[in-house]
Amino acid sequence: MGKQINIKATLSENVNKVFRVKTKFYHIIHKHHEVKRYPIIINNFNRLEYLQQQIEWLLKAGQTNLHIVDNGSTYEPLLRYYKTVPATVYKLDRNVGHESFWRTHLHQRFGRYYHVYTDPDVLPDENTPTDFMYYFKSLLDKYPTIKKVGFGLITNDLPDHYSKKEEVITWEKQFTADEIEPGVYRSKIDTTFAMYRPGAFMQCWENTLRTGNPYLLHHKPWYEDPAKADEETRYYMEQATAASSWYNSLKKSSSPYEG
């Protein structure tokens, strides 16, 4: 049975009082010294299929401390899934976008530990190692000024039906320009799957690393064909707001990549 907790999407000290009190006890009980127990926080809005696949991948990799921040989703199949998902679901009262973890009291609960924050739409291929958590932690240990380490993205198999294919390939090249050791790049990384050092806040743009092959993920929306969108994707597109990156880019933005 999935555990669900309702939270007001704010940092105000006048709300979420019970949750904040319980957070103090959480810090006493949960130390998170073991890599396999580091919290993994998934930011979600009306996404079901990718979320299911990501949860399955993480469980197979031995990660069980899973948390979903839901930005006021209304997709009924997703809401039913939340009742059984092997994770804790924090249901926000509104959509506060890709930075919801830092714009709510959730950061007070998890931010003092090594933790992962990610969107649900990045998934491995058959070559992605399962020891990624240990690898990211080793890089944070090796480079003490780095605030977060995350996966690079696969771009060599983008489909021709993706209208921004060439723009994305060109855009992504900048992220592998500064190689500090084989397969590790000093590079900006957004809310793609990344491990954060305790106390790291928001994006930490200037102190981040991306990994190269084989520590790569697919950004799944790049592979979708809007002309063949399924029911879930159509619903997501209809509900997407300015905080929803890829489809907002597809519909309105001239930016080659928002992800």
User: Which pLDDT tens digit goes with each residue over 27-78?
Assistant: 777 766 788 899 999 999 999 999 999 999 999 999 999 999 999 999 999 9
Contacts of 69 by beta carbon, 8 Å cutoff, 6+ apart: 41, 42, 43, 44, 90, 92, 100, 101, 104, 106
Averaging pLDDT over each range in 141-145, 189-193, 252-256, which range is the top one? 141-145
128-162 confidence digits (pLDDT tens): 999 999 999 999 999 999 999 999 999 999 999 99
Mean pLDDT of the chain: 88
Which pair of structure tokens corresponds to residue 235? 């619903």
Residue 13, SS3 per DSSP: coil
Residue identified by tokens 């399962």 is: 130
The beta strands (E) that lie in 154-235 are given as: 179-181, 184-186, 194-196, 208-219
Q: Note if the pTM is more than 0.85.
A: yes
Q: Give whole-number Cα distances, 66 to 38, 42, 135, 176, in Å.
A: 9, 8, 19, 30
Domain residue spans of the chain: 3-251
- Band of pLDDT at residue 87, cut at 50, 70 and 90: very high
Angstrom CA distances, 227 to 217, 223, 234, 251, stand at 24, 12, 10, 13
Fold of 3-251: Spore Coat Polysaccharide Biosynthesis Protein SpsA; Chain A (3.90.550)
